[in-house]
Amino acid sequence: MRPRWVLGAVLLLAAACSPRAAPLEGTVAPRRVPSSELPPVHRKIVFGFDYSQPDLRIRGDGVARISPPDSARLDFFVNGQGTGHALLVGDDIRLQEGQEKMRDFLPPPPLLWAALGRLHVPGAADTTVRVDGDTLRIDIGHGTGWRATFAGEQLRRLEQIEGGRIPQWVSRPDAGPVRYEQPRRRRLLQLTISRVDTVPGFDASIWR
């Protein structure tokens, strides 16, 4: 019985590392959810990144090439050398052979889309919308689901909710880096955007 007891204690400790989801603030309002789909233009986003987890820290540069309505490619470079890239297509992250460890580095698809400013989560029947000044908070799903926070029309935060706790989230402040945090595993990925360019399009080869 001891191994089960130890496993239970580990799971309880992991849960305790995740903050509790506070009650949704604001006034209940039958207000539309702001559209946060990708703009109908191709964009190239240049950023610096800083990733840390226990016993590991990686810093470098990166570029995201975003093609509406639902495709993006993210490249990461350390010391000017390509370390890997990921294709984000719809609900999937696609990696090249030999790059599967990048899944530990990246948020899951809904949170990775949120880092790029798009709200794209599984639909749910239970959706609650509350307004507090110019802040709009939306709970999608009951018990297990998502909490999105908008300032005006801009997605500022997306939190995953499991059992009343928040195991991981993405924050997009008006100023400062985009942050992905997963406290259970002490993982933090920061993206500091330096430039956003609108471009005519991308060569089809980048999606392979």
Among residues 84, 69, 51, the alpha carbon closest in space to that of 182 is found at 51
Residues in CB range of 49: below 8 A, 6 or more apart: 58, 59, 60, 61, 62, 76, 189, 190, 191, 192
For the chain, domains (ranges, CATH) are 2-202 (2.50.20)
Query: What pLDDT does residue 82 have?
Result: 66
Residues in CB range of 3: below 8 A, 6 or more apart: none
Full pLDDT tens readout for the chain, 208 residues? 444 443 343 344 444 578 998 877 788 876 677 878 899 999 999 999 999 999 999 999 999 999 999 999 999 998 867 678 999 999 999 998 888 888 888 999 999 999 999 999 988 778 889 998 889 999 998 778 999 999 988 999 999 999 889 999 999 999 999 999 999 999 999 999 999 999 999 999 999 8
Helix (H, G, I), strand (E, B) or coil at 40: coil
Query: What pLDDT does residue 182 have?
Result: 96
Tell me the C-alpha distance between 58 and 56, whole Å: 7
- Are 87 and 94 a contacting pair, CB within 8 Å? yes
Query: What pLDDT does residue 59 have?
Result: 94
- Are 119 and 148 a contacting pair, CB within 8 Å? yes
Q: For strands 187-199 and 135-140, give the pairing.
A: unpaired
Tell me the C-alpha distance between 116 and 37, whole Å: 10
Query: What pLDDT does residue 208 have?
Result: 84
Q: Alpha-carbon dihedral of residues 19, 105, 40, 194, nearest 10 degrees?
A: 90
Helix (H, G, I), strand (E, B) or coil at 87: strand
Query: What pLDDT does residue 12 have?
Result: 40
Tell me the C-alpha distance between 20 and 22, whole Å: 6
Query: What pLDDT does residue 2 have?
Result: 47
What's the farthest any 2 CA atoms get from each other in the chain?
63
Query: What pLDDT does residue 122 have?
Result: 86
